[in-house]
Amino acid sequence: MNRWRSLTGRMAATLVAITAGSLVLTAPATAAPIPDTAPSVVGGTRAAQGEFPFMVRLSMGCGGALYSPRLVLTAAHCVNRTGTNTSITATLGAVDLQASSRIQVKSNYVYRAPGYNGSGKDWALIRLATPVTSQATLPIATSTTYDSGTFNIAGWGAAREGGAQQRYLLKATVPFVTDASCSASYPGDLVAAEEICAGYASGGTDTCQGDSGGPMFRRDASNAWIQVGIVSWGDGCARPNAPGVYTQVSTFASSIASAAASLGG
């Protein structure tokens, strides 16, 4: 199984223009050893400039969302450990990663979920050296209220399984998949209390390599965006009966908030 959907350690892939009608998101990489990488957004379309201002591209080949002006929420498998880290570059504010208007900020610290061992607990926070106040942040779900229905996914990952990373941000929508149905697809692998699944039984639309750590989100009761998942893993990209698996943000909302407070964000 091509479990993770990140490209940590696989940055040789070149950025290419998005294939029309294709959007793929990728899965995360573990600390050590680094796992095979997986998806971007498959079966998607190009996002408009400013449509998802909270989206972040991370230089190790993962995605993320702006949790606060100084913090990016991403996947644990995208980072190695908790501690000082000045090697990550976050790109924000542009759907085109080569746009002159893009914002680029270095990291200064990483917090990886305590107890992360490659199964569940797949979340992390990256603190930026300087705050980004010009872009909207993405609130996270604090209950399971929004953990069903239709979700949005977006990322710069591959637009097909095994494909190259994208220059332009792609977007798509995917429906909720029950724990029972998802467990049937991944017997013994799904951590139902910590993960949430989404995708079509027929396949065709999914996250893929290079999209690990990016958000899965939807509208809340006030019609504002709210994050319900973090791109984590899956069997390939957009395969039939192989939904994308995401960290269930509501499960870890209090832990994420506590970690954010400890980081000054």
CA distance 14 to 1: 24
Of 47, 26, 15, the C-alpha closest to 167 is 15
Check residue 8 and give its pLDDT. 43
Name all domains of the chain by residue range, CATH numbers in brackets.
Answer: 1-257 (2.40.10.10)
Catalytic residue status for 22:
no
Q: Which secondary-structure segment (H or E) carries 257?
A: helix 249-262
* 220 given a catalytic annotation: no
| Spatial contact of 27 and 46, defined as CB atoms under 8 Å apart | no
Global pTM reads 0.88
What is residue 7's predicted lDDT score, i.e. its pLDDT? 58
- Spot the catalytic one: 6, 22, 68, 77: 77
Contacts of residue 157, defined as CB under 8 A and 6 or more positions apart, other chains included, come to 5, 7, 24, 25, 26, 39, 40, 41, 63, 165, 166, 207, 208, 209, 210, 211, 212, 214
179 flagged as catalytic: no
The predicted pLDDT at position 3 comes to 66
Give per-10-residue mean pLDDT for the chain (265 aa).
54 28 38 34 94 98 98 97 97 97 98 95 98 98 98 95 92 97 96 97 94 97 98 95 97 98 93
β-pair partners for 245? 197, 233
Q: How far apart are CA 254 and CA 142, in angstroms?
A: 8
Which is catalytic among the residues 6, 68, 122, 232? 122
Q: In the 8-state DSSP scheme, what is residue 155?
A: E
